Amino acid sequence: MTQKLAASIKLLRPQQWVKNAFLIAPLIFSKHLFGVEYVETTILALVVFSLVSSSVYIINDIADREADRQHPVKKNRPIASGKISILEAMVVLVLVVAVIAIAGRNLNHKFFLTVIIYFVLNLAYSFGLKKVILLDVFVIAAGFMLRVLAGAFAIAVLISPWLVLCTLFVSVFLAISKRRGELLLTVHTQGYSGRAVLSEYDLGLMDQLMTIAAAGMAISYALYTVAERTVMIFGTDNLIFTTVFVLFGIFRYLFLVRKKENDDNPAHLLITDLAMVFNVIAWFASCVVIIYWNEINSWF
């Protein structure tokens, strides 16, 4: 029973929920971080979106179980390894959908429309789009952008076009790095050819695309921090100084991607490297201090 429970939890891939932190961005940059109602709504939206993403993972694992058994890492997934049967996975899926319906009953229709688009897009990815070169990368990237939009819709706030553009470059960057890791797995793992679309890619192309995405990410973020609307809302142009953490994060991630050539999980790289973790914390703390300086100063 304990093993089944552990396998069921693993089936949800909770380690992947870190990606859903993108939903928090609108809360921070809309100056509502200390608003209890806004925080509660964002947390609720985060839980719902995480469960929706888990439902996609379950469906994907059922559909890809045969291919996963040939993968050096994915073969250990609950369904591929036989720890969870298809019927048991379907039961877990039904329970997840039930929790989503109960937990999300107070969230607005725009949030749920975004969630539905995310769900349908990911199903389309699982059953066909992942086989189309470049389109597969942009579908993954769209998932990150939808997370930001879902976070904004949940608390009914507007987000800067520059922030949306920055999210696009971040998501494309992470999506390409995922494909790059998968491609390297095919090189380093004997008898494993990987998904069909990988034959269309090569490391040279991947590295060029990552460089372009990284440059776009850095530039769009820097322009966001000094945009007239940003300075007007926050009452300061000091947010530009947080760009140093963004640059360090990009450089560190590129280093890790090249050092750990058999890791095809961007989220794993982000949460297991101490330098990256401390950099994210420093970026977050500096953004909070700069954006909410007046509120923080009033406490003392």
Calculate mean pLDDT across residues 59-72. Answer: 83
Domain identity same for 78 and 50: yes
Share of the chain above pLDDT 70, in %: 93
Domain identity same for 126 and 178: no
* Domain end among 140, 158, 176: 158
Instruction: State how far Cα 56 lies from the chain centre.
Output: 14
Domain identity same for 86 and 183: no
Residues 6 or more apart in contact with residue 60 via CB below 8 angstroms? 122, 126
Tens digit of each residue's pLDDT (9 = 90 or more) over 178-227: 888 888 877 666 665 566 777 788 888 888 999 999 999 999 999 999 99
Number of domains in the chain: 2
For the CA atoms of the chain, what is the radius of gyration?
20
- φ, ψ of residue 16 in degrees (nearest 5): -85, -10
Domain identity same for 246 and 191: yes
Domain identity same for 40 and 187: no
- Give the residue numbers spanning the domain of 197: 160-300
Domain identity same for 43 and 88: yes
Task: Name the residue with higher pLDDT: 294 or 248.
Answer: 248
The model's pTM: 0.85
Domain identity same for 118 and 26: yes
Domain identity same for 132 and 178: no
Tens digit of each residue's pLDDT (9 = 90 or more) over 19-41: 898 899 999 998 899 899 999 99
Residue 44 has a pLDDT of: 94
Domain identity same for 183 and 115: no
Domain identity same for 218 and 142: no
Q: Please report which residue ranges of the chain form alpha helices under DSSP H.
A: 2-11, 25-29, 36-63, 65-68, 78-81, 86-103, 109-126, 135-154, 161-188, 203-226, 228-234, 243-259, 266-272, 274-291, 293-298
Domain identity same for 263 and 144: no
The answer, yes or no, to whether residue 78 has pLDDT greater than 80, is: yes
Among 47-51, 133-137, 146-150, 235-239, where is mean pLDDT lowest? 133-137
Calculate mean pLDDT across residues 283-300. Answer: 87
